[in-house]
Amino acid sequence: MPPPRVNRIPRDEQPKIDRTGTLDDPLKFLDQDYQELKKSCFKNNRRYVDEKFPSDSSSIDPKKKLGLDMEQIKWLRPSKIVADPQLIVKGVSRFDYCQGSYLGNCWFLASVGALTFQEDVMDQVMPVDQSFGEDYAGIFRFRFWRFGKWIDVVIDDKLPTIDGELIFVHSKTSNEFWPALLEKAYAKVCGSYADMHAGLVSEALLDFTGGIHVHFEIAKAFIDLWSLMNRAEKAKALMACGTFLGKTSENTVLPNGIVQGHAYTVTGVYKVTCQKKPVQLVRVLNPWGKGEWTGDWSDESSLWDKVSVKEKSMCRSLANDGEFWMSMEDFTKNFEDIDICCLSPDFLDSSSECRWTSTSYKDSWVDGTTAGGCLNNKDSFWTNPQFRVRIEELDEECSGQCPENILVSLMQDHEKRNRTEVSNYAIGFNVFVVNERCEAPGQVLLPQTPHCK
């Protein structure tokens, strides 16, 4: 096997650091400048109309997959739907919205539910300097993190309706519109509303935070998952989970109230004492805004009568709002996987003294050039992009922690705007142990046996 090719750029040839795409200076999605567009609206005494996400079928369902009658749909501004539209009414909450009937984007809304817990992150995604007040011009903006860069997404506030009712996500408070506008901005990034149909929770969690994402198949988790979730909650992580697919079709409601093939938000992790024994609980939210678990520790469960009055009043809710508690044991039986996204992976270590650092690299797999295939392709494997990572010696407080002290994540950038037209290639990575550093220019070392994959 030829020697590996290590990506190393001489110092004098390294490109200048690009400061654009940060929260302070986000990239302008589709080259639309929010401030300039808003200024133009005031100057011309008109409300904004977004020509790059028009109010027609191309923005809803260009491939006609949702089965909607487009002739029935009217795009209305909130002021044409209600008399007193507001962006936010009495704060942002996970109970504000319900999923629409025509679009299977529970993965997105489960992430929104997690987002509502973190005010700072919410303010990043939905800048606070906008409303239906005096400076209203029919234009709003949202920020998402896309493949290493923050982008500023501009939309008008025309929303698709049938008979005056929103057809996609809608607020339980009739004059509150932040959920519908956030969904529209994300639909614009995805290409259309229909391009949001079906997806992975991890996509939206990353787009909201730009953070570190970890995914666990619950049945195969090799750690104390409840303790990890408890630490993640304290670290203000965003968490969501998914149920097993049904044998016949998705969204089948089981007798116990759990929906098959459905995404949920993890909204709480708590331990109660029941008959002198500790019980680990998980609180979960259905993005439908209704439909709950009916087993042990559900709203009507008699087990709540066996805990202290304080714990019962703190945790139990009888509202049919889609949120419920269940034991960790039942959680592991009914949910297939869990996604956790946080600005830092510090929660992975049981010691509060541990602090992680991160580094990112960008490269490409090109057919015939750098796409060398997996380890089975011994003659070409070495041509794959390679990166040398040095792990610094751990502090005494962190040494011996489990999991190990390296987390590797691979992300595929989209080559097309419309999300459903993107080809998801099977790209993986191997991590090798290297015995010593390469100091001389051009010097390379053969990798040892893969440490992990």
Contact 205, 411 (CB under 8 A): no
Record the pTM: 0.86
Within 8 A by CB and 6+ apart from 94, the residues are 112, 113, 116, 117, 265, 267, 285, 323
Asked whether residue 401 is assigned to any structural domain, the reply reads yes
Which residue among 185, 208, 231 closes a domain? 208
Q: What is the pLDDT of residue 124?
A: 95
Closest CA to 388 of 5, 95, 57, 124: 5
Q: What is the pLDDT of residue 411?
A: 77
Last residue of a domain, one of 315, 340, 365: 340
Q: Domain total for the chain?
A: 3
Same domain, 415 and 444: yes
Q: Which one, of 28, 21, 43, lies nearest residue 141 by Cα?
A: 28
Question: Which one-letter DSSP state was computed for residue 139?
Answer: E
Q: Tell me, what CATH number does 224's domain have?
A: 3.90.70.10
Decide if 94 contacts 113 (C-beta within 8 A). Answer: yes
Active-site residue, from 262, 334, 341, 342: 262
Q: Where are the beta strands (DSSP E) in 353-392?
A: none
289 in a structural domain:
yes
> Which one of 105, 230, 286, 334 is the catalytic residue?
286
Are 309 and 375 part of one and the same domain?
A: no
Distances (CA, A) of 394 to 28, 342, 359, 367: 40, 22, 17, 39
Catalytic residue among 106, 241, 341, 342: 106
Query: 167 and 54 in one domain?
Result: yes
Bridge partners of 156? Answer: 139
- Based on the residue annotation, tell me whether 106 is a catalytic residue of this protein: yes
313 and 417 share one domain:
no
Residue 341 designated active-site? no
Distance CA 249, CA 234 (A): 36
Residue 306 has a pLDDT of 96
pLDDT tens for the 453 residues of the chain, in order:
444 444 444 444 444 445 678 988 999 999 999 999 999 999 999 999 999 999 999 999 999 999 999 999 999 999 999 999 999 999 999 999 999 888 999 999 999 999 999 999 999 999 998 999 989 999 999 999 998 899 999 999 999 999 999 999 999 999 999 999 999 999 999 999 999 998 899 999 999 999 888 999 999 888 899 999 999 999 899 999 999 998 766 679 999 999 999 999 999 999 999 999 999 999 999 999 999 999 999 999 999 999 999 999 999 999 999 999 999 999 999 999 999 998 877 777 765 566 777 777 778 888 778 888 888 888 888 888 888 887 776 666 665 554 456 777 777 777 677 787 777 777 788 888 877 655 444 444 444 444 333
Q: Count the helix, strand and coil residues of the chain and give each as a percent rounded to the nearest 5.
A: 25, 20, 55
- The DSSP H or E segment spanning 271 is strand 263-274
Residues 299 and 235 in one domain: yes
- Residue ending a domain, choose from 340, 362, 384: 340
Full domain range(s) for residue 252: 218-340
Task: Give residue 404's pLDDT.
Answer: 54
pLDDT at 258: 96
Question: Is residue 61 situated within a structural domain?
Answer: yes
